[in-house]
Amino acid sequence: MKILHTSDWHVGKVLKGQSRADEHKAVLAGVIEIARAEQPDLVIVAGDLYDTAAPSSEATRLVTRALTALRRTGADVVAIGGNHDNGPALDALRPWADAAGITLRGGVRENPDEHLIDGTTAGGERWRLAALPFLSQRYAVRALEMYELTAAETNQTYADHLGRVLGRLTEGFTEPDRVHLVTAHLTVTGAATGGGERDAHTVLGYAVPATVFPATAHYVALGHLHRAQRVAGPCPVRYSGSPLAVDFGEQENIPSVTMVEVTASTAARVREVPVTAASALRTVRGTLAQLAEIEAPDAWLRVYVREQPRAGLREEIQELLPRALEIRIDPELLAAPGSGARIAQRSGRSPRELFADYLDSRGHADEGVRELFDELFEEVEH
């Protein structure tokens, strides 16, 4: 069978105030074209369909249309909720999804069998997919209780909980003539983050070892980390990554989807198919004069300017580089020896003196800013 694995669409993403709706339309159109060309038997969307738990009507329309178009290629389509998604809201779409022939699992259901999806390809290959949406710490414990496993104790870790839930879902992965698959939205220990993930759900006890997945699985399709990568484990474990760079920390990622070919008796063969529709994200740095000389790339820009802060600097840079979304004083400049000044001592100092010390410490030499502070402070005082 052939599988198209994608995740972390983050539809509705706004980057530094810039809507990316048009890019998302183009990216998802690209994913659909790949599906039409590759003709997969199964499409897995491993969570974070949306960027926010309260998506706009436009974002909802784009996601539902994309899922429908993927289904119309002839593939079975399974999508799960991620940490950015609203699980109950996704589950509220299940009547629509069922009618469209799409399997949607927003949150964990009381009956574990609802997370086991069975199918047969046109070529007669039987498959079973264990689909586990994102689980917070609290709901990982609740899932254990629902499935009547050994009671969760206070000293158990998140990895313990996830391992036992996955163990329950994959305990039937024993038939030799069936392809066994897992999809989940989580962080595996040792995997490389892409730069735009939500830190609270990537560290602080949320990482699980790859050993939570059974050796009998033919392929594990993960979402949450935005960099496409294979993870060492007892079976083939892989993140498809996001099909577009979500934030500037991901500018080195290569957006793609993952194609997998596998049978019940042969190992999974994996390849990446690039998705190039979105604008790239790039970082440029230099003095104002240097920035004026560069050939601006066709990308959204983060600019590190090597100038002392002053009023109007941002506007000058935006005039030079209209696609600059983030403009900052170069951290290397601020950290350079001699760039700081003495630390202000509060005792006995006036607000004007303290503010002047702050400007000195930041290398800010614009007298107009000091004068403006004086005017505003005088208004407040009187």
Report residue 72: phi and psi, to 5°.
-70, -10
Nearest Cα neighbor of 317 from 339, 351, 286 is 286
Whether residue 157 is found in the same domain as residue 56: yes
Residue 33 burial by Cβ neighbours in a 10 Å radius (0-12, 13-18, 19+)? middle
Q: Is 105 a residue whose pLDDT tops 60? A: yes
Does residue 305 share a domain with residue 262?
Answer: no
Domain-terminating residue out of 254, 274, 294:
274
Question: What does the pLDDT read at residue 206?
Answer: 79
Q: The tokens 């949607």 sit on which residue?
A: 104
Is there a single domain that holds both residue 328 and residue 354? no
Looking at the fold, whether 307 and 165 belong to one and the same domain comes out as no
Instruction: Report pLDDT digits (tens) over 176-209.
Output: 999 999 999 999 998 988 766 665 555 556 789 9
Assign residue 204 the CATH number of its domain: 3.60.21.10
Mean pLDDT of the residues in the chain: 88
Q: In this structure, are 261 and 297 located in the same domain?
A: no
Residue 246: closest CA among 5, 6, 16 = 16
Average pLDDT over residues 338-362: 63
Within this chain, do residues 138 and 46 fall inside the same structural domain, yes or no?
A: yes
What is the C-alpha separation between 382 and 380, in angstroms, rounded? Answer: 5
Reported as a single tens digit per residue, the pLDDT across 112-142 is 899 999 999 999 999 999 999 998 876 666 6
Is the same domain home to 154 and 117? yes
**Angle between helical axes of 21-38 and 57-72 (0-180°, round to 10):** 10
Looking at the structure of the chain, the number of domains it has is: 3
Residue 343 confidence class, pLDDT cut points 50, 70, 90: very low
Location of structure tokens 């498809």: 240
Contact at 8 Å (CB) between 5 and 47?
Answer: no
Q: Which of 258, 274, 290 is a domain's end point?
A: 274
Q: Residue 148: which residues within 8 A CB-CB, separation 6 or more?
A: none
Residue 95 has pLDDT above 80, yes or no: yes
Same-domain check for residues 51 and 99: yes
Query: Residue holding tokens 């008796």?
Result: 265
Q: What is the pTM of this model?
A: 0.84
Which of 274, 296, 326 marks a domain boundary? 274
Q: Are residues 329 and 220 in the same domain?
A: no
Structural domain of residue 321, as residue ranges? Answer: 279-335
Q: Same domain for 356 and 248?
A: no
In the predicted model, is pLDDT for residue 31 greater than 80? yes
